[in-house]
Structure 1
Amino acid sequence: MANIVQFENIGLRYGTGAETLTDVSFTLRSGQFYFVTGASGAGKTSLLKLLYLAQRPTRGVIRLFGEDAVLLPRDRLPGFRRRIGVVFQDFRLVPHLSARDNIALPLRVAGVPEVDIEQPVQEMLAWVGLAERAQARPATLSGGEQQRVAIARAVIGRPEILVADEPTGNVDPDMAERLLHLFDSLNKLGTTVVVATHDFHLLNRIPHAQMMRLDHGRLLDPTGSLRHPPHRPES
Protein backbone atom coordinates (compact mmCIF):
# COMPACT_ATOMS: atom_id res chain seq x y z
CA MET A 1 0.00 0.00 0.00
CA ALA A 2 1.32 3.41 -0.98
CA ASN A 3 1.46 6.49 1.23
CA ILE A 4 -1.44 8.69 0.16
CA VAL A 5 -0.99 11.45 2.80
CA GLN A 6 2.04 12.64 4.73
CA PHE A 7 2.07 15.41 7.35
CA GLU A 8 5.53 16.49 8.49
CA ASN A 9 5.91 18.77 11.54
CA ILE A 10 2.72 20.63 10.76
CA GLY A 11 1.86 23.72 12.76
CA LEU A 12 -1.34 25.73 12.37
CA ARG A 13 -2.09 29.09 13.89
CA TYR A 14 -5.13 31.28 13.35
CA GLY A 15 -4.15 34.93 13.58
CA THR A 16 -1.77 35.78 16.40
CA GLY A 17 -3.12 33.30 18.95
CA ALA A 18 -1.56 30.09 20.19
CA GLU A 19 -1.06 27.24 17.76
CA THR A 20 -4.13 25.09 17.12
CA LEU A 21 -1.96 22.23 15.86
CA THR A 22 1.66 21.74 16.92
CA ASP A 23 4.30 19.49 15.34
CA VAL A 24 1.77 17.05 13.88
CA SER A 25 3.36 14.26 11.81
CA PHE A 26 1.69 11.13 10.44
CA THR A 27 1.32 9.02 7.31
CA LEU A 28 -1.90 7.62 5.85
CA ARG A 29 -1.74 4.51 3.70
CA SER A 30 -3.95 4.03 0.68
CA GLY A 31 -7.03 1.90 1.35
CA GLN A 32 -6.92 2.11 5.16
CA PHE A 33 -9.57 3.27 7.64
CA TYR A 34 -8.59 5.90 10.23
CA PHE A 35 -10.32 7.48 13.20
CA VAL A 36 -9.15 10.91 14.39
CA THR A 37 -10.23 11.21 18.02
CA GLY A 38 -9.95 13.67 20.86
CA ALA A 39 -12.06 15.92 23.02
CA SER A 40 -13.91 18.90 21.60
CA GLY A 41 -11.35 21.59 20.83
CA ALA A 42 -8.49 19.11 20.39
CA GLY A 43 -7.92 20.21 16.78
CA LYS A 44 -9.76 17.50 14.82
CA THR A 45 -11.65 19.84 12.49
CA SER A 46 -8.54 21.92 11.86
CA LEU A 47 -6.58 18.79 10.93
CA LEU A 48 -9.31 17.73 8.51
CA LYS A 49 -9.38 21.19 6.90
CA LEU A 50 -5.69 20.81 6.14
CA LEU A 51 -6.35 17.34 4.76
CA TYR A 52 -9.03 18.44 2.29
CA LEU A 53 -7.15 21.62 1.35
CA ALA A 54 -9.54 24.14 2.87
CA GLN A 55 -6.67 25.51 4.97
CA ARG A 56 -2.93 25.85 4.51
CA PRO A 57 -0.59 25.17 7.44
CA THR A 58 1.43 27.87 9.12
CA ARG A 59 4.50 25.66 8.86
CA GLY A 60 5.49 22.16 7.87
CA VAL A 61 4.97 19.95 4.82
CA ILE A 62 1.84 18.19 3.56
CA ARG A 63 2.15 15.67 0.75
CA LEU A 64 -1.01 14.43 -0.98
CA PHE A 65 -0.90 11.81 -3.70
CA GLY A 66 2.89 12.16 -3.78
CA GLU A 67 2.96 15.94 -4.30
CA ASP A 68 3.64 18.91 -2.03
CA ALA A 69 0.15 20.26 -1.32
CA VAL A 70 1.41 23.36 0.49
CA LEU A 71 3.17 24.65 -2.62
CA LEU A 72 0.48 23.47 -5.03
CA PRO A 73 -0.51 26.25 -7.50
CA ARG A 74 -4.05 27.51 -7.03
CA ASP A 75 -5.08 26.44 -10.52
CA ARG A 76 -4.39 22.80 -9.57
CA LEU A 77 -6.35 22.85 -6.31
CA PRO A 78 -9.76 22.01 -7.88
CA GLY A 79 -8.35 18.84 -9.46
CA PHE A 80 -6.84 17.75 -6.16
CA ARG A 81 -10.02 18.50 -4.25
CA ARG A 82 -12.05 16.32 -6.61
CA ARG A 83 -9.95 13.38 -5.41
CA ILE A 84 -11.11 14.02 -1.82
CA GLY A 85 -14.72 13.58 -0.70
CA VAL A 86 -15.84 15.54 2.36
CA VAL A 87 -18.77 14.92 4.72
CA PHE A 88 -19.27 18.03 6.83
CA GLN A 89 -20.58 18.04 10.38
CA ASP A 90 -23.42 20.39 9.40
CA PHE A 91 -24.22 18.50 6.15
CA ARG A 92 -24.10 21.66 3.92
CA LEU A 93 -26.86 20.44 1.63
CA VAL A 94 -28.35 22.96 -0.81
CA PRO A 95 -31.80 23.61 0.68
CA HIS A 96 -33.72 24.26 -2.57
CA LEU A 97 -32.39 21.11 -4.27
CA SER A 98 -33.85 17.63 -3.91
CA ALA A 99 -31.83 14.77 -2.45
CA ARG A 100 -31.23 13.57 -6.00
CA ASP A 101 -29.95 16.94 -7.19
CA ASN A 102 -27.77 17.45 -4.11
CA ILE A 103 -26.09 14.13 -4.84
CA ALA A 104 -25.73 14.98 -8.53
CA LEU A 105 -24.19 18.40 -7.82
CA PRO A 106 -20.49 17.37 -7.84
CA LEU A 107 -20.92 15.66 -11.22
CA ARG A 108 -22.62 18.71 -12.70
CA VAL A 109 -19.93 21.03 -11.34
CA ALA A 110 -17.31 18.75 -12.92
CA GLY A 111 -19.07 19.05 -16.29
CA VAL A 112 -20.34 15.46 -16.55
CA PRO A 113 -23.00 15.24 -19.30
CA GLU A 114 -26.53 14.95 -17.95
CA VAL A 115 -27.04 11.65 -19.74
CA ASP A 116 -24.21 10.16 -17.65
CA ILE A 117 -25.50 11.45 -14.31
CA GLU A 118 -28.77 9.58 -13.81
CA GLN A 119 -27.40 6.08 -13.29
CA PRO A 120 -24.68 6.88 -10.72
CA VAL A 121 -27.12 9.09 -8.79
CA GLN A 122 -29.68 6.29 -8.65
CA GLU A 123 -26.97 3.87 -7.52
CA MET A 124 -25.92 6.25 -4.74
CA LEU A 125 -29.52 6.75 -3.59
CA ALA A 126 -29.97 2.98 -3.39
CA TRP A 127 -26.62 2.52 -1.62
CA VAL A 128 -27.58 4.91 1.18
CA GLY A 129 -31.14 3.56 1.35
CA LEU A 130 -32.91 6.68 0.05
CA ALA A 131 -34.23 5.57 -3.35
CA GLU A 132 -37.77 6.41 -2.22
CA ARG A 133 -36.72 9.89 -1.04
CA ALA A 134 -35.02 11.05 -4.22
CA GLN A 135 -37.27 14.09 -4.72
CA ALA A 136 -37.37 15.16 -1.06
CA ARG A 137 -35.75 18.45 -0.11
CA PRO A 138 -33.41 18.63 2.89
CA ALA A 139 -35.95 20.34 5.17
CA THR A 140 -38.25 17.31 4.90
CA LEU A 141 -35.49 14.78 5.66
CA SER A 142 -34.48 13.56 9.10
CA GLY A 143 -30.97 14.23 10.39
CA GLY A 144 -29.90 10.70 9.50
CA GLU A 145 -31.36 11.01 6.00
CA GLN A 146 -29.61 14.34 5.45
CA GLN A 147 -26.33 12.79 6.56
CA ARG A 148 -26.78 9.91 4.12
CA VAL A 149 -27.43 12.38 1.29
CA ALA A 150 -24.23 14.19 2.31
CA ILE A 151 -22.29 10.91 2.24
CA ALA A 152 -23.66 9.98 -1.19
CA ARG A 153 -22.75 13.44 -2.52
CA ALA A 154 -19.23 13.10 -1.11
CA VAL A 155 -18.53 9.73 -2.73
CA ILE A 156 -20.37 9.95 -6.06
CA GLY A 157 -17.19 11.18 -7.73
CA ARG A 158 -15.34 8.06 -6.50
CA PRO A 159 -12.79 9.96 -4.38
CA GLU A 160 -9.53 8.35 -3.34
CA ILE A 161 -9.93 9.78 0.16
CA LEU A 162 -13.14 10.31 2.13
CA VAL A 163 -12.96 12.73 5.06
CA ALA A 164 -15.87 12.91 7.53
CA ASP A 165 -16.08 15.41 10.38
CA GLU A 166 -18.16 14.09 13.31
CA PRO A 167 -20.56 12.33 10.89
CA THR A 168 -22.52 10.64 13.70
CA GLY A 169 -22.79 13.66 15.97
CA ASN A 170 -26.38 14.55 15.01
CA VAL A 171 -27.94 11.09 14.75
CA ASP A 172 -29.14 8.39 17.13
CA PRO A 173 -26.98 5.33 17.96
CA ASP A 174 -28.74 3.06 15.46
CA MET A 175 -28.18 5.54 12.62
CA ALA A 176 -24.58 6.03 13.74
CA GLU A 177 -24.02 2.30 13.29
CA ARG A 178 -25.58 2.45 9.83
CA LEU A 179 -23.43 5.37 8.77
CA LEU A 180 -20.27 3.61 9.95
CA HIS A 181 -21.32 0.57 7.94
CA LEU A 182 -21.52 2.77 4.83
CA PHE A 183 -18.03 4.12 5.49
CA ASP A 184 -16.70 0.61 6.07
CA SER A 185 -18.29 -0.63 2.83
CA LEU A 186 -16.67 2.21 0.92
CA ASN A 187 -13.32 1.48 2.55
CA LYS A 188 -13.55 -2.15 1.47
CA LEU A 189 -13.87 -0.92 -2.12
CA GLY A 190 -10.45 0.75 -1.77
CA THR A 191 -11.18 4.29 -0.59
CA THR A 192 -9.05 5.66 2.24
CA VAL A 193 -11.48 6.77 4.96
CA VAL A 194 -10.72 9.32 7.70
CA VAL A 195 -13.44 9.88 10.31
CA ALA A 196 -13.11 12.45 13.08
CA THR A 197 -15.13 11.72 16.20
CA HIS A 198 -15.15 12.43 19.92
CA ASP A 199 -17.44 9.43 20.51
CA PHE A 200 -15.07 6.74 21.77
CA HIS A 201 -17.90 4.18 21.80
CA LEU A 202 -17.73 4.07 17.99
CA LEU A 203 -14.09 3.08 17.76
CA ASN A 204 -14.63 -0.64 18.33
CA ARG A 205 -17.28 -0.78 15.60
CA ILE A 206 -14.55 -0.87 12.93
CA PRO A 207 -11.99 -3.31 14.38
CA HIS A 208 -9.51 -2.92 11.53
CA ALA A 209 -9.43 0.89 11.79
CA GLN A 210 -6.35 2.71 13.03
CA MET A 211 -6.62 5.55 15.53
CA MET A 212 -4.96 8.94 15.70
CA ARG A 213 -5.65 10.82 18.92
CA LEU A 214 -5.25 14.56 19.33
CA ASP A 215 -4.78 16.30 22.64
CA HIS A 216 -4.63 20.10 22.68
CA GLY A 217 -3.37 20.16 19.11
CA ARG A 218 -0.72 17.49 19.54
CA LEU A 219 -0.83 13.97 18.18
CA LEU A 220 -0.57 11.15 20.72
CA ASP A 221 0.78 7.68 20.09
CA PRO A 222 -1.47 4.64 20.78
CA THR A 223 -0.27 4.44 24.39
CA GLY A 224 -1.33 8.02 25.05
CA SER A 225 2.15 9.56 25.06
CA LEU A 226 2.90 12.64 23.01
CA ARG A 227 4.61 11.77 19.74
CA HIS A 228 6.42 15.10 19.95
CA PRO A 229 7.39 16.52 23.34
CA PRO A 230 6.17 20.03 24.14
CA HIS A 231 8.48 22.86 23.20
CA ARG A 232 10.44 24.11 26.18
CA PRO A 233 11.02 27.85 26.37
CA GLU A 234 14.61 28.94 25.98
CA SER A 235 16.27 29.96 29.21
Structure 2
Amino acid sequence: MHELMEPIVQFDRVGLRYGTQTETLSDVGFALSPGGFYFLTGPSGAGKTSLLRLLYLAQRPTRGSLKLFGHDVVNAPRSALPALRRRIGVVFQDFRLIPQLSARDNVALPLRIAGVPEDELAGPVEEMLAWVGLADRAAARPATLSGGEQQRVAIARAVIARPDLLVADEPTGNVDPEMAHRLLHLFESLNRLGTTVLIATHDLHLLGRVPDARMMRLERGRLSDPTGALRFPPIRASA
Protein backbone atom coordinates (compact mmCIF):
# COMPACT_ATOMS: atom_id res chain seq x y z
CA MET A 1 0.00 0.00 0.00
CA HIS A 2 2.87 2.37 0.83
CA GLU A 3 4.23 1.94 -2.71
CA LEU A 4 1.18 3.75 -4.13
CA MET A 5 1.62 6.79 -1.94
CA GLU A 6 3.70 9.88 -2.73
CA PRO A 7 7.34 9.39 -1.64
CA ILE A 8 8.25 10.96 1.66
CA VAL A 9 11.69 11.76 0.16
CA GLN A 10 12.46 12.34 -3.52
CA PHE A 11 15.98 13.02 -4.88
CA ASP A 12 16.35 13.72 -8.61
CA ARG A 13 19.84 14.20 -10.12
CA VAL A 14 21.08 15.79 -6.92
CA GLY A 15 24.63 17.06 -6.81
CA LEU A 16 26.52 18.51 -3.84
CA ARG A 17 29.76 20.42 -4.01
CA TYR A 18 31.66 22.10 -1.16
CA GLY A 19 33.29 25.26 -2.47
CA THR A 20 35.35 24.61 -5.60
CA GLN A 21 36.04 20.95 -4.79
CA THR A 22 34.98 17.99 -6.89
CA GLU A 23 31.35 17.04 -6.29
CA THR A 24 30.83 15.04 -3.10
CA LEU A 25 27.53 13.69 -4.47
CA SER A 26 26.79 13.34 -8.18
CA ASP A 27 23.47 12.70 -9.89
CA VAL A 28 21.91 11.03 -6.87
CA GLY A 29 18.34 9.93 -7.44
CA PHE A 30 16.07 7.81 -5.22
CA ALA A 31 12.74 7.84 -3.42
CA LEU A 32 11.82 6.70 0.08
CA SER A 33 8.30 5.37 0.55
CA PRO A 34 6.26 6.31 3.63
CA GLY A 35 6.79 3.63 6.25
CA GLY A 36 9.83 2.11 4.52
CA PHE A 37 12.99 0.87 6.24
CA TYR A 38 16.29 1.56 4.46
CA PHE A 39 19.99 1.01 5.02
CA LEU A 40 22.63 3.25 3.43
CA THR A 41 26.05 1.65 3.11
CA GLY A 42 29.34 2.39 1.43
CA PRO A 43 33.02 2.91 2.22
CA SER A 44 34.32 5.81 4.29
CA GLY A 45 34.43 8.96 2.21
CA ALA A 46 31.68 7.79 -0.14
CA GLY A 47 29.39 10.69 0.83
CA LYS A 48 26.97 9.01 3.26
CA THR A 49 27.12 11.78 5.88
CA SER A 50 26.72 14.45 3.18
CA LEU A 51 23.62 12.68 1.87
CA LEU A 52 22.18 12.55 5.39
CA ARG A 53 22.88 16.29 5.84
CA LEU A 54 20.70 16.93 2.81
CA LEU A 55 17.96 14.75 4.30
CA TYR A 56 17.79 16.57 7.61
CA LEU A 57 18.12 19.98 5.93
CA ALA A 58 21.53 20.96 7.27
CA GLN A 59 22.60 21.48 3.66
CA ARG A 60 20.92 22.24 0.37
CA PRO A 61 21.95 20.60 -2.91
CA THR A 62 24.22 22.43 -5.31
CA ARG A 63 22.01 21.19 -8.15
CA GLY A 64 19.07 18.90 -8.81
CA SER A 65 15.71 18.49 -7.13
CA LEU A 66 15.00 17.45 -3.55
CA LYS A 67 11.54 17.08 -2.07
CA LEU A 68 10.67 16.23 1.54
CA PHE A 69 7.07 15.48 2.52
CA GLY A 70 6.04 16.79 -0.90
CA HIS A 71 7.80 20.16 -0.43
CA ASP A 72 10.51 21.47 -2.74
CA VAL A 73 13.28 22.23 -0.23
CA VAL A 74 15.78 23.48 -2.82
CA ASN A 75 13.75 26.60 -3.53
CA ALA A 76 11.84 26.87 -0.25
CA PRO A 77 12.38 30.01 1.86
CA ARG A 78 14.42 29.52 5.01
CA SER A 79 11.33 30.34 7.07
CA ALA A 80 9.66 27.16 5.79
CA LEU A 81 12.45 24.80 6.88
CA PRO A 82 11.98 24.66 10.70
CA ALA A 83 8.50 23.13 10.37
CA LEU A 84 9.90 20.43 8.09
CA ARG A 85 12.84 19.77 10.42
CA ARG A 86 10.45 19.10 13.30
CA ARG A 87 9.14 16.11 11.36
CA ILE A 88 12.62 14.58 11.19
CA GLY A 89 14.46 12.73 13.97
CA VAL A 90 18.25 12.67 13.64
CA VAL A 91 20.87 10.50 15.33
CA PHE A 92 24.20 12.24 14.76
CA GLN A 93 27.50 10.39 14.69
CA ASP A 94 28.89 12.91 17.21
CA PHE A 95 25.71 12.78 19.37
CA ARG A 96 25.30 16.61 19.73
CA LEU A 97 23.82 16.42 23.20
CA ILE A 98 23.43 19.69 25.08
CA PRO A 99 26.13 19.52 27.78
CA GLN A 100 24.29 21.67 30.34
CA LEU A 101 21.23 19.40 30.30
CA SER A 102 20.72 16.05 31.99
CA ALA A 103 20.02 12.92 29.98
CA ARG A 104 16.35 13.33 30.92
CA ASP A 105 16.20 16.92 29.65
CA ASN A 106 18.10 16.11 26.46
CA VAL A 107 15.54 13.41 25.65
CA ALA A 108 12.63 15.70 26.55
CA LEU A 109 13.85 18.50 24.28
CA PRO A 110 11.91 17.54 21.10
CA LEU A 111 8.69 17.26 23.11
CA ARG A 112 9.25 20.66 24.68
CA ILE A 113 9.92 22.19 21.27
CA ALA A 114 6.68 20.60 20.04
CA GLY A 115 4.81 22.27 22.91
CA VAL A 116 4.00 19.20 24.99
CA PRO A 117 2.92 20.37 28.50
CA GLU A 118 5.49 19.79 31.25
CA ASP A 119 3.14 17.57 33.24
CA GLU A 120 2.91 15.19 30.26
CA LEU A 121 6.66 14.82 29.70
CA ALA A 122 7.77 12.61 32.57
CA GLY A 123 6.07 9.36 31.53
CA PRO A 124 7.26 9.20 27.91
CA VAL A 125 10.78 10.38 28.79
CA GLU A 126 11.27 7.88 31.62
CA GLU A 127 9.86 5.08 29.47
CA MET A 128 12.25 5.91 26.64
CA LEU A 129 15.26 6.09 28.96
CA ALA A 130 14.32 2.71 30.40
CA TRP A 131 14.03 1.25 26.90
CA VAL A 132 17.61 2.26 26.05
CA GLY A 133 18.85 1.01 29.43
CA LEU A 134 19.47 4.38 31.06
CA ALA A 135 16.71 4.65 33.66
CA ASP A 136 19.34 4.96 36.40
CA ARG A 137 21.27 7.66 34.50
CA ALA A 138 18.41 10.08 33.86
CA ALA A 139 19.92 12.86 35.99
CA ALA A 140 23.43 12.49 34.56
CA ARG A 141 24.92 15.12 32.26
CA PRO A 142 26.60 14.08 28.99
CA ALA A 143 30.14 14.64 30.27
CA THR A 144 29.64 11.93 32.90
CA LEU A 145 28.27 9.38 30.42
CA SER A 146 30.29 6.90 28.39
CA GLY A 147 30.29 7.11 24.60
CA GLY A 148 27.78 4.27 24.38
CA GLU A 149 25.51 5.92 26.95
CA GLN A 150 25.66 9.22 25.08
CA GLN A 151 24.75 7.38 21.89
CA ARG A 152 21.69 5.88 23.56
CA VAL A 153 20.57 9.27 24.88
CA ALA A 154 20.93 10.67 21.36
CA ILE A 155 18.81 7.84 19.96
CA ALA A 156 16.14 8.27 22.63
CA ARG A 157 15.98 12.00 21.86
CA ALA A 158 15.66 11.31 18.12
CA VAL A 159 12.76 8.88 18.38
CA ILE A 160 10.72 10.14 21.34
CA ALA A 161 8.51 12.45 19.27
CA ARG A 162 7.74 9.68 16.75
CA PRO A 163 9.06 11.62 13.73
CA ASP A 164 7.79 11.02 10.21
CA LEU A 165 11.39 10.41 9.09
CA LEU A 166 14.26 9.06 11.19
CA VAL A 167 17.79 9.55 9.88
CA ALA A 168 20.55 7.78 11.80
CA ASP A 169 24.30 8.01 11.14
CA GLU A 170 26.07 4.88 12.49
CA PRO A 171 23.61 4.61 15.42
CA THR A 172 25.12 1.40 16.80
CA GLY A 173 28.77 2.35 16.43
CA ASN A 174 29.44 2.87 20.15
CA VAL A 175 27.41 0.10 21.77
CA ASP A 176 27.92 -3.63 22.30
CA PRO A 177 26.19 -6.16 19.99
CA GLU A 178 23.39 -6.90 22.46
CA MET A 179 22.48 -3.22 22.79
CA ALA A 180 22.86 -2.74 19.03
CA HIS A 181 20.18 -5.39 18.45
CA ARG A 182 17.96 -3.81 21.10
CA LEU A 183 18.29 -0.40 19.47
CA LEU A 184 17.55 -1.88 16.07
CA HIS A 185 14.38 -3.37 17.57
CA LEU A 186 13.47 0.14 18.76
CA PHE A 187 13.89 1.45 15.22
CA GLU A 188 11.75 -1.40 13.91
CA SER A 189 9.03 -0.63 16.45
CA LEU A 190 9.04 3.01 15.42
CA ASN A 191 8.91 1.94 11.78
CA ARG A 192 5.84 -0.21 12.46
CA LEU A 193 4.12 2.90 13.81
CA GLY A 194 4.65 4.55 10.41
CA THR A 195 8.02 6.28 10.62
CA THR A 196 10.27 6.00 7.56
CA VAL A 197 13.74 4.92 8.76
CA LEU A 198 17.08 5.41 7.01
CA ILE A 199 20.18 4.10 8.77
CA ALA A 200 23.70 4.73 7.49
CA THR A 201 25.94 1.95 8.75
CA HIS A 202 29.12 -0.02 8.24
CA ASP A 203 27.76 -2.84 10.42
CA LEU A 204 26.92 -5.60 7.95
CA HIS A 205 25.52 -7.73 10.77
CA LEU A 206 22.59 -5.33 11.09
CA LEU A 207 21.51 -5.59 7.48
CA GLY A 208 19.94 -9.03 7.56
CA ARG A 209 18.11 -8.43 10.83
CA VAL A 210 15.36 -6.39 9.16
CA PRO A 211 14.09 -8.80 6.48
CA ASP A 212 12.02 -6.22 4.59
CA ALA A 213 14.66 -3.48 4.68
CA ARG A 214 16.06 -2.15 1.44
CA MET A 215 19.65 -1.15 0.83
CA MET A 216 21.24 1.71 -1.05
CA ARG A 217 24.99 1.90 -1.52
CA LEU A 218 27.11 4.97 -2.12
CA GLU A 219 30.48 4.76 -3.81
CA ARG A 220 32.46 7.85 -4.75
CA GLY A 221 29.37 10.01 -4.41
CA ARG A 222 27.18 7.92 -6.67
CA LEU A 223 24.28 5.73 -5.64
CA SER A 224 23.82 2.14 -6.69
CA ASP A 225 20.57 0.16 -6.39
CA PRO A 226 18.52 3.38 -6.06
CA THR A 227 15.22 1.46 -6.20
CA GLY A 228 16.12 -0.45 -3.07
CA ALA A 229 15.46 -3.74 -4.87
CA LEU A 230 18.15 -5.68 -3.00
CA ARG A 231 16.69 -7.39 0.05
CA PHE A 232 18.47 -9.31 2.77
CA PRO A 233 17.34 -12.69 4.07
CA PRO A 234 17.05 -13.04 7.84
CA ILE A 235 20.25 -14.00 9.62
CA ARG A 236 19.90 -17.40 11.22
CA ALA A 237 21.00 -17.75 14.81
CA SER A 238 24.17 -19.76 15.17
CA ALA A 239 23.87 -23.15 16.79
Q: Which of these residues, 175, 180, 183, is aligned with residue 176 of structure 1?
A: 180
Q: Which amino acid aligns with 2:79?
A: D
Q: Say how many residue pairs are matched.
A: 223
Q: Which of these residues, 50, 53, 71, is aligned with residue 49 of structure 1?
A: 53
Aligned 1:75-224 pairs, distance under 5 A:
75-221=79-225
Q: Which amino acid aligns with 2:96?
A: R
- SS of 1:205's partner is coil
CA distance in 2, matches of 1:129, 1:202: 20
- SS of 1:49's partner is helix
- SS of 2:44's partner is coil
CA distance in 2, matches of 1:217, 1:133: 40
Range moving further from structure 2, 67-76 or 51-60: 67-76
Q: Deviations over 1:116-139 (max 9, x none)?
A: 322221232233232222112222
CA distance in 2, matches of 1:83, 1:94: 20
| Uncovered stretches (5+) of structure 2, i.e. residues with no partner | 228-239
- How far residue 82 of structure 1 moved from its aligned partner, in angstroms, is 0.3
User: What TM-score results when the alignment is normalised by the length of structure 2?
Assistant: 0.88
Aligned residues with identical type, % of pairs: 74
Q: Which of these residues, 9, 14, 19, is aligned with residue 18 of structure 2?
A: 14
Range moving further from structure 2, 173-182 or 90-99: 173-182
CA distance in 1, matches of 2:89, 2:114: 14
Q: Which of these residues, 24, 31, 45, is aligned with residue 28 of structure 2?
A: 24
Q: Which amino acid aligns with 1:29?
A: S
Identify the residue that residue 40 of structure 1 maps to in structure 2. 44
- Contact persistence 1:11–1:60 (CA under 8 A): yes
Task: Provide the aligned C-alpha RMSD in A.
Answer: 1.7
- Contact persistence 1:82–1:157 (CA under 8 A): no
CA distance in 2, matches of 1:147, 1:91: 6
CA distance in 2, matches of 1:188, 1:212: 21
- Contact persistence 2:30–2:226 (CA under 8 A): no
- SS of 2:101's partner is coil
Q: Which amino acid aligns with 2:153?
A: V
| Uncovered stretches (5+) of structure 1, i.e. residues with no partner | 224-235
CA distance in 2, matches of 1:207, 1:221: 17
- SS of 1:129's partner is coil
Q: Deviations over 1:142-162 (max 9, x none)?
A: 322221211111122221000
Q: Deviations over 1:142-199 (max 9, x none)?
A: 3222212111111222210000001122223232222212211211221111000122
Q: 1:191 to 1:222 in 2, by over 3 A?
A: closer
Q: Which amino acid aligns with 1:50?
A: L
- SS of 1:19's partner is coil
Q: Deviations over 1:11-33 (max 9, x none)?
A: 00000010000000000001111
Q: 1:222 to 1:160 in 2, by over 3 A?
A: closer
